[in-house]
Amino acid sequence: MKIVNPQNCVFFFDFDNTIATCDVFDNMLPRFSQDDLWKNLEKDWRKGKIGSHACLAGQIKGMSITKQALDKYLQGIKIDPYFKKIVHALDKKNIRTFVLSDNFDYILNRIMDFHAIRKFRLFSNKLHINGNKLTPYFPFRSRNCQI
């Protein structure tokens, strides 16, 4: 039997509906959108007419929320009850843990902070909050992606 060096192992987790018990961003849309345009974007995305970049950017543009109101919403997000135990076990074995998500860094980091989870590396879209406006950034978007 070959023994695997834990330092050569990596664990990847998705966030929405995996770590979080819901799709955090999708649940924000009806709460914080100023109108129902997000529904049309969602339909176009599901039909393959637009990509996730155009969908998310348009949906974010239609939201109005302050950092304080967003934090209050995010405090109520539940995570999988075993996730913290899994991360702790992986950390004890020196196994690197990554969270990959098309959600946004501020949202994910705040939820993880509220649950006292800090041993992970995050790859996600970025979010800037200015007053009640959210501005998305997509640092991992492929320039070759046309939709």
Q: Residue 8 above 90 pLDDT? A: no
Half-sphere exposure of 144 (CA within 13 A, CB side): 0
The domain spans of the chain are 21-137
Partnered with residue 121 across adjacent β-strands are 98
Cα radius of gyration (the chain): 17
pLDDT (tens digit, 9 = 90+) per residue, 34-83? Answer: 999 999 999 999 999 998 889 999 999 999 999 999 999 999 999 999 99
Domain 21-137 belongs in CATH node 3.30.365.10? no
Cα–Cα dist 18/2, whole Å: 31
Q: What pLDDT sits at residue 141?
A: 73
Both tokens of residue 118?
């800090």
